[in-house]
Structure 1
Amino acid sequence: MSSVRQVQVTFDCAEPERLARFWCEVLGYVVPPPPKGFATWDEFKSSRSPEDRDAWFACVDPENAGPRLYFQRVPEGRVVKNRVHLDVRVGTGLVGAERLAALEAECARLVALGAVHVRTLVADDENESCIPMQDIEGNEFCLD
């Protein structure tokens, strides 16, 4: 039996390219080259039928350390809380006021990109601070 070597995270969404480009900014990811045989993404898109033109998009970690993110257009919107979410680990190794300051600075940067600050959970006796947020389509994620 072989083991899994790669993981891709897939988002159902309304606007795949817009959401992919948002996550590129959040994570420092990049848009991969267009599919084989196409010089640009615009060339690829123009080769597709109108209903398939913007059906999907992706972004990748330029260092190939993180998973590929794939965004696929679906007709329905999100109606309930995500069962899985991403934790964007900006406070790793930090504690107390230093951690909270790093989280708040990143929160401000992401709000400027269109994310929504849901609330700030301040450290207590059991947990360090974190900031639940929503991306530009309402998908939940946490600054951790």
Structure 2
Amino acid sequence: MSSRFEIEVEGVGVMRPVNNFQMARIKNISDHENREIAFVAFGLGMTIKQFKALPEEQRRAAWDAHSRLCSPAALAPEPKAQPDRPRLPRRFERVSDDKMIQIGRELIRIKDQLPHGHFGPWLKENSGLSIGQAQRFMRAAKEAQQERSAA
């Protein structure tokens, strides 16, 4: 599954932003040229040596993907919630089954757009829901989808 944080580089692999471990390794590279290459190579899940062995055309495509991934447009936050999207419940507010399913669908959509490990912090910052509440809402949406598929 591809998200806005991944770009397929034909014949090479999937470009992703570097993680904290990779960033720490990059900081320890003393050669300036290799440090720059490391961002692209590590983003593709390669070593610097493997990246340098790629044909020039594939390296250029990888650099383009890295530039698009790190561009301000790619890093911009998602647009604000649309008016037709369900309002998230307040703490201790009772939620109907229909509203729970609606919220669950929206949470699933948001979770699918975020990189692995970013959904929990997103919930904390943006929704006010606990992980348990979010899981219940998403489970209700999945069960409703399965019931619709079975019918």
Asked whether the two chains share a fold, i.e. TM above 0.5, the reply is: no
Greater share of helix: 2
Rg larger in structure: 2
